[in-house]
A = this chain, B = another copy of it.
Amino acid sequence: MFDTAESDPRLTKEQARPLEAKLRAALLKAQYARLKKAQRSLLIVVAGIDGAGKGASVSLLNEWMDARHIRTMAFGAPTAEEKDHPFLWRYWRQLPAGGKIGIVFGSWYQPLFQEAARKRPDQAAIQAHAQDIRHFENLLSNDGVQIIKLWYHLSQDAQRARIDQLLSDPRTAWQVRPEEIKARKKFSRLRDAGALGISLTHSDHAPWQVIPSADEQMRSIATGQAVLAALRRAAHKPVADLPDSGAMEASGQALRAAEIKAALRGAAQRKAVRLEDLDYRATLSDKEYEEQLAMWQGRLAELARSKKFSRLPLILVFEGNDAAGKGGAIRRITHALDARQFHAIPISAPSPEESAHPYLWRFWRDLPRPGNVAIYDRSWYGRVLVERVENYAKAAEWQRAYAEINQFEAQLRGSGALVVKFWLAITKEEQLKRFREREASPFKSFKITADDWRNRKKWDAYQLAANDMFARSDTADCPWLVLPANDKQHARVAVLEHIVQAVEKAL
């Protein structure tokens, strides 16, 4: 893998100059044509052997292309806030929008390469890191983010010579970081870690490219050429990530298919709820309601103010038929919480900024810190509900979303968060009654629009989508609670009770 790079190939200035002139013009052209018009973004991951000139190469790309559309994202040790969130959170937050280029230093590969470079690496941890990375990069490339990963490499002799030369001049010695002096001693371990990490995470849609780095001209030209090839690469054609998709396995993506199957397995083994099997008859009298509401609110309030709770990020997801009473149920919850600890997030059509990013991006932004509660009034499940039924998402997009969502929720769980998902279900007759009541009320009529009546005509399609969603995303860790809600009071109490029990179990 590194043979060419470790032969330390060189270019003379005379050789490099005409190549550079052509490259720069082509890079600019490609940056505008492919990115600005097509609104696709490009992520350039920068990694490699220490002392190979990664920083200088990033400066170069900023100089050769239009730097106004490039954002360099460099990550060191995570901040306290970043530690309070899933590992990928800080990378999600800074994803470039369509048309932009992001250059990533200190990327999501850090834990993988660190583990692989240990004296006695934990092979299971390495495989797990690699799998997380593959999921993440698959998801991004499916959603229109192009990825190119550059590994800067040179021979051990060249590395030593380069560092010694920099250190010998006080005006350049600062360019050598203390880590690099250390790294010289572990060249072969870092090299092997790189080779392993690359082999586990190389793919057609997110390829690695080794950049020979002993010689500045060679490094510059190779960097420019790799980025140019990425910019010119045709858009990745995602396949539907269904577990039974023979086409995908036939196309040699067996590994990916196996992982997607695993992500869906939890769901498949559980008995899926179906809306038509629900019993809508349960009710609560006013007196029962007032008593039980006060009781469960009291218990939730106590829990939410407990010491243990301050370590739990809580995520509540509300989906359901139009007019099923999501807003009312949410207000009964927030009433029991301190205003400083919750954030209610209504989800509607994405803004232009949100549309310019992968579809999960906007949900990553508002994730709660430990001790806080994020309440989603509609959620990422819109992808497999409204976007599916209304054809806002292509079939391939919503079909692979089940696995993406399961992976997303697994990451939330993995970081210590509790995710509780509700579907409030009402019958078609009850919905009609509520629509009519809303229309007749001077201060509820805003809640009912032509859209609601249009959606109602697609009742069966929405029910089918909901049933599919339960079947595919009702995992052991993040199960769906499907609640009959024809009686609002009964549903509100059931929601509170379920939250209290889930939190008590999680603490």
Contact = CB atoms under 8 A, between A and B. Distances in A.
Interface of A: 21, 24-25, 27-28, 32, 55-56, 58-59, 62-64, 66-68, 72, 74-76, 79-81, 105-106, 170-175, 177, 294-295, 297-298, 301-302, 305, 327, 331, 334-336, 338-341, 343-344, 346, 348, 351-353, 377, 442-443, 446-447
Given A105-B339, A171-B295, A28 B443 contact: yes
B340 A294 contact: no
A172 B74 contact: no
Nearest to A105: B339
13 contacts: A24-B443, A27-B443, A28-B443, A56-B335, A59-B331, A59-B334, A67-B327, A75-B340, A79-B80, A79-B81, A80-B80, A174-B298, A352-B352
A340 B106 contact: yes
A105 B351 contact: no
Contacts of A174: 298, 301-302, 305, 336
A28 B80 CA distance: 41
A56 B332 CA distance: 11
A310 to B, nearest CB: 12
B302 A446 contact: no
B331 A62 contact: yes
Contact of A21 (B338, B377, B442): B442
Given A72-B339, A81-B79, A67 B170 contact: no
Nearest to A63: B331
A132 B5 CA distance: 59
Nearest to A332: B59
Contacts of A63: 331
B340 A170 contact: no
A55 B442 contact: no
B348 A442 contact: no
A338 to B, nearest CB: 8
A377 B301 CA distance: 49
Given A174-B302, A174-B305, 10 more contacts: A21-B443, A25-B443, A62-B331, A68-B348, A74-B338, A75-B340, A80-B81, A173-B298, A174-B336, A177-B338
A66 B298 contact: no
